[in-house]
Structure 1
């Protein structure tokens, strides 16, 4: 889902990585985030591992450890880097090793990795500085592979969300056109920035895009549990958020109490050049 906004006085613009208050707001309810956000397709995990020279993985923006647990289950050793101590603490309880820092500021202390991944988090990283840091910590032939979920929301949900935000929080910066677009069209500028950032380092092979399509049916309660975990909504006051959820819940009721979302999970990936 595209970031709805970066907060009332921290609007998104074209560079979400500059808006730190939203980027570091997700830990306000880490348990909900971990419970409600979907995991990543197993085929994605398997392909990244198969295309990497080994199984030592650095997870950027590790959050609560959703993708880190998946890579660990597939036999990888995973180190997370996460700027929000609350999210990091949750991940550690799930036995994920996490260091608290912005990736651009994080110190590797000579450590090298076979893959650098990021699960729906690379948009919070400076695309050039992040790719340059990844090139420094990857072994030759190591793989940079940030990936993002791209869900297509039902128009009824988009309309209800738009109406609720305009009525309840009129100063909330929000472009409903973003969610009315075909989801992949809405995300295309993000993927172009990631690709450009990798190219500009001069340290990687030409980036590729891997797409993994799937779908998930959410009950009303499951979708309303996930919605507050998205950027911008994490910073709404509780009474305003409750009204937004009531409006979206009513829209899901008109769909029969559930909504099926088609997803494409997109990987922008490249390997570190041997001479970088």
Structure 2
């Protein structure tokens, strides 16, 4: 999600791509990030590859290389672009080729790709400038396909996080009301911004939305391992983080020591016009 969870959508504040300190904070513990963040459904990877003209992929906001490694395993050649050197270094150690830059400023040096992807990271990119850059580096008929996880957190966990954050970090944007109903509704403004950014370039087909539903059951330890990787929490000092983890852990204990999270992984996708 854009801000708190894989952030939390907050349609009232500035656009997420302007929050550079948060956008470039995830490398504080790259190993934990790679270990704790969930991969993407194989069906999502396969569909993007099948709908692209080839297998030369650019991964924007590649992070530690989670989705890049999935596309590599499916037979693609992947180049990552990542603004955080710490994340890029981790990805390189795992055989992902990564260049360090913000995508908007990255220089492709004439290189072209069959697909531009972005795993839960396109909200950190200017939606219009990023789409225009994607059009520049895609071959005619190439596919732009940023995708995001949409997790439906249990109400007990949301309430526990809200209580802890109000106490220890009231300045972190977290509106529990946005997550008390449908998570997909909370993400709708983000997906609309992505689609509108693509349209504004005038260089792509009408954006489509592909959805892939799945779920994962987390143990208490697995969920608490992931929590410090959420945007906003990455910069909490250890004592405040300990309070947040204790509160979330107590909520999961009340659920029986584990929590099942329904996810929908959503792709906003379009093809570069042949004449663009």
Contact map agreement 1:6 1:19 (CA 8 A) in 2: no
- Could you tell me which runs of 5 or more consecutive residues in structure 1 were left unpaired when the two chains were aligned: none
Render the CA deviation track for 1:134-175: whole Å, top value 9, x for unaligned. 000000000000000000000000000001111222333322
Q: In structure 2, what is the Cα distance between the partners aligned to 1:178 and 1:14?
A: 16
Question: Quick one: structure 1 residues 61 and 190, their matched pair in 2 at CA, closer, same or farther if it must change by over 3 Å?
Answer: same
Comparing 24-33 with 11-20, greater Cα deviation is found at 11-20
Shift of 1:177: 1.5
Render the CA deviation track for 1:172-225: whole Å, top value 9, x for unaligned. 332221222310001000000000000000000000000000000000000000
Give the 3-state SS of the residue equivalent to 1:148 in structure 2: strand
Give the 3-state SS of the residue equivalent to 2:174 in structure 1: coil
Contact map agreement 1:2 1:178 (CA 8 A) in 2: no
Give the 3-state SS of the residue equivalent to 2:104 in structure 1: coil
Comparing 169-178 with 218-227, greater Cα deviation is found at 169-178
Is structure 2 residue 244 aligned with structure 1 residue 257?
no
Is structure 2 residue 198 aligned with structure 1 residue 185?
no
Q: In structure 2, what is the Cα distance between the partners aligned to 1:48 and 1:157?
A: 33
**Which residue in 1 is equivalent to 2:172?**
172
Give the 3-state SS of the residue equivalent to 1:79 in structure 2: strand
Contact map agreement 1:5 1:174 (CA 8 A) in 2: no
Q: In structure 2, what is the Cα distance between the partners aligned to 1:192 and 1:259?
A: 30
Q: In structure 2, what is the Cα distance between the partners aligned to 1:180 and 1:17?
A: 25
Contact map agreement 1:150 1:264 (CA 8 A) in 2: yes
**Which residue in 2 is equivalent to 1:221?**
221
**Which residue in 1 is equivalent to 2:74?**
74
**Which residue in 1 is equivalent to 2:30?**
30
**Which residue in 2 is equivalent to 1:196?**
196
Q: In structure 2, what is the Cα distance between the partners aligned to 1:12 and 1:222?
A: 31
Shift of 1:14: 3.9
Q: In structure 1, what is the Cα distance between the partners aligned to 2:200 and 2:44?
A: 25
**1:89-238 pair list within 5 angstroms:** 89-238=89-238
Q: In structure 2, what is the Cα distance between the partners aligned to 1:180 and 1:27?
A: 29
Question: Quick one: structure 1 residues 84 and 12, their matched pair in 2 at CA, closer, same or farther if it must change by over 3 Å?
Answer: farther
Give the 3-state SS of the residue equivalent to 1:104 in structure 2: helix
Q: In structure 1, what is the Cα distance between the partners aligned to 2:203 and 2:247?
A: 48
Q: In structure 2, what is the Cα distance between the partners aligned to 1:195 and 1:221?
A: 37
Q: In structure 1, what is the Cα distance between the partners aligned to 2:275 and 2:235?
A: 44
Contact map agreement 1:4 1:175 (CA 8 A) in 2: no
Shift of 1:2: 4.9
**Which residue in 2 is equivalent to 1:239?**
239
Shift of 1:5: 8.3
- Matched pairs, number: 273
Q: In structure 2, what is the Cα distance between the partners aligned to 1:268 and 1:171?
A: 31
Render the CA deviation track for 1:5-52: whole Å, top value 9, x for unaligned. 899xxx982400011000000000000000000000000000000000
Comparing 189-198 with 173-182, greater Cα deviation is found at 173-182
Contact map agreement 1:61 1:122 (CA 8 A) in 2: yes
Is structure 2 residue 87 aligned with structure 1 residue 87?
yes
Q: In structure 1, what is the Cα distance between the partners aligned to 2:24 and 2:238?
A: 18
